[in-house]
Structure 1
Amino acid sequence: MAPNAARRSESSRKAILAATAELCGENGYARLTIEAIAARAGVSKKTIYRWWPSKGAVVLELLDQTATIAIEPPDSGDLATDLRTLLTEVIGMLTPPETSPGIGLIAEALHDPDLARELRERLIRPRIATFKQRLRRAQDAGQLSPDADLDVALDLLYGPLYHRMVFHLGMPDPSYLDSLIAHTLRALTPPRH
């Protein structure tokens, strides 16, 4: 019986993504190479380049595949809890800073417009849409002011994470994250009479 090419390709793709995750965890994004991925995955560089144009593209697929919150936002009924879930996923993608594939990918995207566009369209915009979808539900439930600017809410909550990343201030601990969420929600919550 002839081998199934689709299954072989899928197993190679999984091996490449697993190798990428392992190598990023061991050495960080900066030291990641297509050669190292190919060697670890047991495939040729040609196989990798058939599916991805660069190591950044491989890492982007890895992050997109491993990120759990993409299509459906969490909705526990408690907005603060759901925001903590959303922000914790981002924090997980950015830590630890020395080996985080997310930080390396963001840094490379600053110099590669094609990768930046893919990062924005594939990973960032869907998650912004998820965030806004959850906040719209909160508005509908009266938990947020109906005129709350959701773009400002996004910047208020996510901006501090990237500020802390860029300036090597460390990601917020759970207590700081809860405080950030509480202060932001206070600013977006309709006043009670």
Structure 2
Amino acid sequence: MAQVRRRGAVLEQAILRAAAGELTESGYAGLTMDRVAHRAGTNKNAIYRRWPNRAALGVAAYKLLVETALGPPDTGELRADVLAVLRQMNADLATPKANVAAGLMASAAEDPELLAQLREMVGDGASSMWLTMLRRAVDRGEAPPGCLHPRVATVALTLLRNEFMTRGMTPVDDDVIVEIVDRVYLPLIRGSRYSGGEKSR
């Protein structure tokens, strides 16, 4: 592929899309800087300036896959937003993204750098997306400002991930998702009175 002169965010997105494509087609085991550079129409130096190793690039590409599929919905109601996200995650277990996630976790057992990158990603828990939904809910008067804390915001995500892990990474019944939202998440959000705000950890 001929190299096209691009810079900044444009080049970064091209590299991430190329890496995401390689992950989907070949898994983490088949992900190489050479193949990503060729697919993106750039050189390896451009990749290494942004991601120091294959593990960092692989996790960044996986995050792109997940965020592109989800994104923060805006239905006008917190319950509907949360249900939409969890249902999409559940449906994604039957798509290539699930295979990518399984491949990353399997490779992490023998790759300390990848394991560290995955732990950082899980620790973040996509909190920015959940906080965006909660800020909208606060603005609408559906939730108190005290809910704007990453650990609180991502509780529903954590509970669903635990369900996936205990069931062998297979989809759950919709009743389970509704129960997580109605019996745990929404009562927690509505009762949040913590004064530290979203910046506290």
Shorter-chain TM-score range: 0.5 to 0.7
Q: Which runs of 5+ in 2 are unaligned?
A: 192-201
Q: Which runs of 5+ in 1 are unaligned?
A: none
Match of 2:26 in 1: 27
Match of 1:79 in 2: 78
Q: Is residue 2:57 matched to residue 1:55?
A: no
Distance 1:103 1:153 in 2: 25
Match of 2:171 in 1: 171
Evaluate the alpha carbon distance shift between residue 119 and residue 189 of structure 1 in structure 2; reply closer, same or farther with a 3 A threshold: closer
Q: What do you get for the CA RMSD once the two structures are aligned?
A: 4.5
Evaluate the alpha carbon distance shift between residue 40 and residue 52 of structure 1 in structure 2; reply closer, same or farther with a 3 A threshold: same
Q: Is residue 2:112 matched to residue 1:115?
A: no
Query: Among the aligned pairs, what percent are the same residue?
Result: 27
Which range moves more in the overlay, 49-58 or 170-179?
170-179
Alignment size in residue pairs: 182
Evaluate the alpha carbon distance shift between residue 142 and residue 19 of structure 1 in structure 2; reply closer, same or farther with a 3 A threshold: closer
Deviations for 1:147-190, whole angstroms, at most 9, x for unmatched residues? 779635632x1123322343424133545323322222563476
Secondary structure, aligned partner of 1:6: coil
Q: Is residue 2:187 matched to residue 1:183?
A: no
Instruction: Decide which structure has the larger Cα Rg and report it.
Output: 1
Distance 2:64 2:161 in 1: 21
Distance 1:120 1:176 in 2: 22
Distance 1:55 1:35 in 2: 11
Deviations for 1:66-112, whole angstroms, at most 9, x for unmatched residues? 51466xx5442222111123334555776647854445556649933
Q: Is the 8 A contact 1:94 1:101 kept in 2?
A: no
Normalising by structure 1, we get a TM-score of 0.61
